[in-house]
Amino acid sequence: MTKYSQNLLWSVGIKPVLDEILNDLLPNDIEKFHVERIPDEKYKAVLFQTYDESRIYIKEHFFDVGADDDNLIDCHKVCSCIVYSLLKNRFLVYDLRSDISDELLLSNYKAAFLGGTRCLFVLSVARLQKYGKIELAKCLWRKGAFVFPETNKGHDSYVIGRAKSFGLNETYDRDFDYLACSDMLFWIEKYNLFKVKEESGSLIRIG
């Protein structure tokens, strides 16, 4: 990933999500549990270092790089690596105690899921523009971010469900599944593209 791409995904995809999650925390929780945010420049550097390492891992284990190593990893695997990096490198540190709120406990896991999907949102718009689907790209961009399916009554929201699943995987020391995450991101993108097409009345084919 070029420095330009890193800066774009950081400034448009990742940082706004981190800002939103921190801003949504209760001031009382921030004080009570001594919440601290890793400084942006330091965090950005380690985040993309881990991303580069995981991208290499994916290329070596799960991807056909082609005869001359010229096949590019698709955007869903790219964002799967970003999710992993956000999980491994927590942007918030705090005191972990038994009376911690769910909002704070899940904050880093939400950052991983929403940061990864926001990056995919940016890449999806760029890809639509690249292939001449300008109106569809504009309609999607106006949304500002991906939306997620409604869950059944009485169940966690889609975002909270994903955050909890990340937390459980960490608790039980399960390896991060890049391909399952990539598949999840693929269907989130498809869901949003069909929603946008439906709402706009567009007859543009979504490939």
> Tens digit of pLDDT for each residue in 153-186?
999 999 999 999 999 999 999 999 999 999 999 9
Burial of 111 (0-12, 13-18, 19+ CB in 10 A): buried
The domain tally of the chain equals: 1
Give pLDDT, residue 65.
60
Confidence at 206, pLDDT banded by 50, 70, 90 = very low
Burial of 68 (0-12, 13-18, 19+ CB in 10 A): exposed
The answer to whether residue 60 is domain-embedded is yes
Give pLDDT, residue 62.
77
Q: Which domain holds residue 9?
A: 3-200
The answer to whether residue 44 is domain-embedded is yes
The answer to whether residue 47 is domain-embedded is yes
The answer to whether residue 185 is domain-embedded is yes
CA distance 33 to 12: 29
Give pLDDT, residue 73.
83
The answer to whether residue 206 is domain-embedded is no
**Amino acid type, 77:** K
Closest residue by Cα to residue 135 from 40, 43, 63, 204: 204
Give pLDDT, residue 2.
86
CA distance 101 to 24: 12
The answer to whether residue 205 is domain-embedded is no
Q: Which is it for the CA torsion 173, 108, 192, 80, positive or negative?
A: negative
Confidence at 203, pLDDT banded by 50, 70, 90 = very low
Using the structure block, give the residue that is written with the tokens 């960490």: 170
**Amino acid type, 75:** C
The answer to whether residue 94 is domain-embedded is yes
Taking only the tens place, the pLDDT of each residue in 54-69 is 999 988 887 766 655 5
The DSSP output letter for 12 is I
For range 128-150, the mean pLDDT: 93
CA distance 131 to 125: 10
Confidence at 143, pLDDT banded by 50, 70, 90 = very high
